[in-house]
Amino acid sequence: MAELFTSTIWPVTVLVLRILLVVVPLLLAVAYLTYAERKIIAAMQLRQGPMVVGPYGLLQPLADGLKLFVKETVIPTGANKVVFLLAPMITFILALIGWAVIPFGEGLVLADINVGVLYLFAVSSLGVYGIIMAGWASNSRYAFLGALRSSAQMVSYEIAIGLIIISVLISAGSLNLSAIVRAQEVHGWYVFWHFPMFMLFLVAILAETNRHPFDLPEDEASLVTGYNVEYSSMTFALFFLGEYANMILMSAITSVLFLGGWLPPLDIWPLTAIPGPLWLILKICLVLFVFIWARATLPRYRYDQLMRLGWKVLLPLSLAWLVLTAGVVVAFPIPRP
Amino acid sequence: MTAELFVWWMLALVAIASAVMVIAAKNPVHSVLFLILCFFNAAGMFVLIGAEFLAMILVVVYVGAVAVLFLFVVMMLDINFVRLREGFLNYLPVGALVGIVLLAELVLVGTSWALREPSPVLATVEGLDNTRALGSFLYTEHFVVFQIAGLILLVAIIGAIALTLRQRVAVKRQDIARQVHRRPAETVTLVRVETGKGV
């Protein structure tokens, strides 16, 4: 019994606690990201935003959550029940499992696997399933049109994201996310070396998470709200949480690949005193602000413009940069950590 | 029985069950979803035998791209499910024959399986993670084959574009360069309209 405890029960308990240590703050962050979004957009439009529930409206996310929780789950007639209920769960779970490989500090990572970048790429390429299954199972034309748009959009922008990531990979010489951050300690942040790719990556993750100005899958003016139009109550809440958790995940990937992960900007005293995870969180918040800023500023793209941007601008540029990076890495011996 | 072996057998069982469901499911969309589940279990088994690079590539390429297109096409098709089930018994003998031949081949291959001597390149990369091992193997010893595979794919891409590209004349297209280079003087004229008359 004691042997079973030390060999199985105790490690599993520790693992579950570590996962909860990531997931619970993440869900809180998702709740307050919706609050931050409303407040920031309100400030940009000279409004006050939520002010009623709690001081400065701080309890608004909890009230919204409670409202969604107590509503009735409506399953439309003719919907494919199993797939209909599976779709929001898939979206939500995929938004959570990506966090397994994000390094929060030196050694502070749930799974320090050698193919971390590929794992994240795989998880983000699966995100399309939740949406396309929801659109198909709803038995509704609006939802189906939204799902079709979304799958074409996400598949197109994934290619650009993949090529941009490869440029970073061959600079760092590893697929391990912790190793990529350590390489930036030696080389300097990749946002300086790969600045054009950093900008393209920001555009591509907006499209990949279906956010403004590329939110055509839920274009409320032409598709009501697209793929999630038939969803209510908790099933809708799961889509909503999944979308925002995905935004935070994509911001974390950007921070790790380009902004030096847990590293302070300069290796001098007052900056090094701040712990690494806090730096990562600050960088994530910075990228999230760009997400919200874009939503408040830019009008929605037309569908053909969206496809043109993905295939004729992002793809050739990132491919050319990849060849350039590979040439530089071969021509000049760069230090490896 | 160790936990790893238990997980391996679970993955194997689910993979086989979902593979059966691919052909047994009445709804073709469900078939594709079961196919995806099968891919996932195969990826899990790859991870357990230490081939993590192959596992991730399987998920990225097959689940993330190929199966999405499958799903896309199957959802768009208007399939009559009742007619699809007709004549199942007529095709059964032929189907069973093909199945038995495939099974026999698999058994023959499985029982006479012998590993080739490991390549000298692989021997030198012993101890590296399998991404590096695979890379140094593909880009050195099998460089030519790798390039030929790439060329075949390129030809396939060009072929697909050549087959589907249609030049239509009466379509209005957005030409960004022309839009940017337009000047107000060329496009806008100020017309003074006299009161009581049209333009």
Cα distance between residue B120 and residue B112, in whole Å: 24
CB-based contact, B36 to chain A, within 8 Å: yes
Neighbours of A265 (CB within 10 A): 12
Cα distance between residue B58 and residue A62, in whole Å: 40
Cα distance between residue B128 and residue A84, in whole Å: 44
Cβ–Cβ gap B63/A151 under 8 Å: no
Cα distance from A243 to chain B (closest Cα, Å)? 18
- Six token digits for residue A331: 């021509």
- Amino acid type, A243: E
Contact of A88 with A58, CB cutoff 8 Å: no
CB-based contact, B38 to chain A, within 8 Å: no
B56 contacts in A (CB within 8 Å)? 115, 118-119, 121-122
**Contact partners, residue A311, CB within 8 Å, separation at least 6:** A156
Residue B120 has pLDDT above 80, yes or no: no
User: Of chain B residues 94-133, which have a CB less than 8 A from chain A?
Assistant: 129-131
If pLDDT is split at 50, 70 and 90, which confidence band does B80 have?
Answer: low
Give chain B's length: 199
- Residue B135 has what pLDDT? 83
Cα distance between residue B53 and residue B138, in whole Å: 14
Residue B123 has pLDDT above 70, yes or no: no
Neighbours of B94 (CB within 10 A): 9
The tens digit of pLDDT for each residue in B14-27 reads 999 999 998 888 88
Complex confidence, ipTM: 0.82
Cα distance between residue A319 and residue A196, in whole Å: 12
- Residue B35 has what pLDDT? 92
The tens digit of pLDDT for each residue in B127-180 reads 667 788 888 888 888 889 999 999 999 999 999 999 988 888 888 877 888 888
For residue A189, which of A251, A267, A277 has the smallest C-alpha distance? A267
Residue B119 has pLDDT above 60, yes or no: no
Predicted TM-score (pTM) of the model is 0.86
- Residue B3 has what pLDDT? 76
Cα separation values, A184 from A87, A129, A196, B179, Å: 38, 34, 17, 42
CB-based contact, B52 to chain A, within 8 Å: yes
CA A140 from centroid of its chain's CA atoms = 28
- Residue B50 has what pLDDT? 79
Cα distance between residue A308 and residue A303, in whole Å: 9
Q: What is the DSSP string of A116-161?
A: HHHHHHHHHHHHHHHHHHHHHHTT-HHHHHHHHHHHHHHHHHHHHH
Minimum Cα–Cα distance from A127: chain B residue = B64
- Residue B104 has what pLDDT? 93
If pLDDT is split at 50, 70 and 90, which confidence band does B126 have?
Answer: low
For residue B76, which of A327, A204, A135 has the smallest C-alpha distance? A135
CB-based contact, B68 to chain A, within 8 Å: yes
Q: What is the DSSP string of A166-215?
A: HHHHHHHT-S-HHHHHHHHHHH--HHHHTHHHHHHHHHHHHHHTT-TTS-
Beta bridge partners of A277: none
B171 contacts in A (CB within 8 Å)? none
Class at the top of the CATH hierarchy for domain B3-184: mainly alpha
B71 contacts in A (CB within 8 Å)? 129, 132
Cα distance from A152 to chain B (closest Cα, Å)? 9
Cβ–Cβ gap A122/B72 under 8 Å: no
- Residue B84 has what pLDDT? 66
The tens digit of pLDDT for each residue in B4-51 reads 788 889 999 999 999 999 888 888 888 889 999 999 899 999 888 878
- Residue where the block lists tokens 């360069």: B177
- Residue B162 has what pLDDT? 92
pLDDT along chain A (337 residues), means of 10: 73 88 91 92 90 87 88 83 89 90 87 87 87 86 83 86 92 89 89 92 90 77 76 86 91 92 84 86 93 90 86 93 92 80
Contact of A161 with A121, CB cutoff 8 Å: yes
Contact of A264 with A279, CB cutoff 8 Å: yes
Contact of A206 with A297, CB cutoff 8 Å: no
- Residue A267 has what pLDDT? 80
- Residue A1 has what pLDDT? 61
